[in-house]
Structure 1
């Protein structure tokens, strides 16, 4: 019997804007569960199922949204129980921009279902999907659980994990939500479908690092937070793939070890890139210091010259000396503050703490020498002094500096004047969002998808390494549980106005 009086004849909301749209198959231990995430006209259908559930799934989806509002179909593996209905669903959606989200090792197989839509291959897109509305899904690969291209999908806003085959269960008496006995229902499924304990634990170790409030598997019951930790602990001790030949099992384990080694190598590469970018950054910042010191040094030099001239003419007055000294002192204090800003910026702070975003923005503006007094640039600031985020402040300043430096480079290279830079900060229940927009003409469509790639730059090699924006993205996405993206802002007629960088960070509890 289904618990909690859940009405499976209708779509069931399991988290804000996330619905189960499956079909309860009576006396069938192999329940299959499609889900939908409502996201305006970029909604996401997950593991839509076979033709057995097709009519029921479509009926339930239509009670929530128009089929044309579905832009993405996520397929966690290639089996017919979650893919077979896709060609018919494509016809109902009827969108040229419909994308099938899956792994490249899966797309080569599911094409045999005669799927016509383009593929969004997660391993070629930073294992992440970000819609134009800012909604984000993170993908974590779980190879050979139970297919080579298997993965799970995680929504960091709702903390829901769509786990595919992992955490599936087999039982004639199906419950919509799992209870404390669920491990015994899941045990048989995983011993049969997961190839080995080592391979399964590789996936579980990845999943265990996520902050999960709900697990929505393709089979079995939906698992609430209170059962997740214990379930993972029990599953780690399962002996899986007992029917597989020893030689084949060893090959799979070797593949997992190779993946682990590659993952460690990537981490080491990212750290080296980070340090290299920091060294390059120092030389660029020295140029900024020279730029900021030029005016106060000129003032001091002129003041000294005036004092010397008056002294030589024997017309130097005490009041005149005091006034000139105050003027020089003001310039020296400004120069001292500049050095303090740069010293703080490069201080090796590694402890995370709460800090005001406004303060980071102001520090970054000082470092790149942007202010409301700059004759070439008009700053439009829409800030909130109450918004705080958790992380390493200097790293966040570095992100803003990289973006603003990129805009400065464009202003210099195009010799632009009367440039508007708009910095907007806002926060809601889930995210803090910082956007930085310019009107410098936008980024060429041919390169906009590459600007976060390491070593990509449009500048001469002597003027930059192309690491700044790549490191900025690493900081936000690896260290601050957020994401950094860019898009062009356009006029109504399609004319590009400029670029808009968007930093979204998940609000900590």
Structure 2
């Protein structure tokens, strides 16, 4: 035997979950024992070397009877029996003894003994029984052909069958027709892989009630039974669906808000053209500009619908790179920004993934940018700059969007988030306004939202502007 094999055997011996002893029949002393044996009988290594099999047994055996039992093992070559042993402090143990004769040479005959603590196994079995019968999940054991062996009350209640009905039908009959064959295919996989976890299927009760369930199957230690656990997720699915419909309803409301002002703008332009034309006052040279404005607004509305198709069921469980998302938003607004001669400067000092509803968060950011664009137009700013940067503030990533559009009058600043409050440039715009941006960021996403006047430096020039900060 080489060193590698010796190391392997030594590892198996010492790491066994059962107590293992090697007894020298001539001296009646244990020449080898593993750590589990010391733990089971509560002896030290030195103490265990001095004891004999008689010191471990609780049975009343004379030395002659002990020799007779050992002789039977030698003649048979092995033995297996239940008995009672005792620990160093006299505690009784119900054990299963497995013995096998080992003959290294003529003068040295040994017994290789495995001691299984039945008390521990019984405790595990009792714990299993408690879990089996008290669980609120449906639990059953089936044979390898899918026939029921036993099941708990939760399983019976879930199926709506009586005990006699359930014990006489195969497990496959409890699933939707399209799932029956799949369940049959899973049984060989369970035997091969030992378990199948969280397989989603439709469970059918006696009274044709359908429910969405997850089933888990485990091969039992006896290799003849499969433990089947069924969890009813119907209610959770309904709650999830309800959340999605609520989310969809909120999304539709937001789209409705976004459509009102653009549609109003189109109506004002069209009504103005019609009225001026009737009064012979319309300047035809303005027609191209008016039509371009209408086309621009309709494209904006179309973009909202396209985003709606893609993001209708977006939720807050998805995370996105903040800097990547900002770049996507800037790309979407590229034509509008270029048309209005706005220079975008990005300064990303940190990037983290943030959990957001991508569609609504993007609309909030676009609205903030639109407010700056409209301020530039209203105030006829020449050198137009929007600075977007991320910073690490108190271990939180903060997004800052600031412009050099002159800021907001200090008297107006505290009123910006009041419902229905608008400035001139906001009433002409197409965004939600800072109020709705605030609602999306704070009320929906639970992030921090703040704004103020600021000063921005660019090309050695200092400008007054407006800043919005979002802290994640």
Work out whether the TM-score is over 0.5: no
Q: Which has the larger radius of gyration?
A: 2
Name the structure where strand makes up a greater proportion of residues.
2
**Range of TM-score over shorter length:** 0.3 to 0.5
Task: Please report the TM-score for the alignment, with normalisation by the length of structure 1.
Answer: 0.32
Task: Please report the TM-score for the alignment, with normalisation by the length of structure 2.
Answer: 0.34
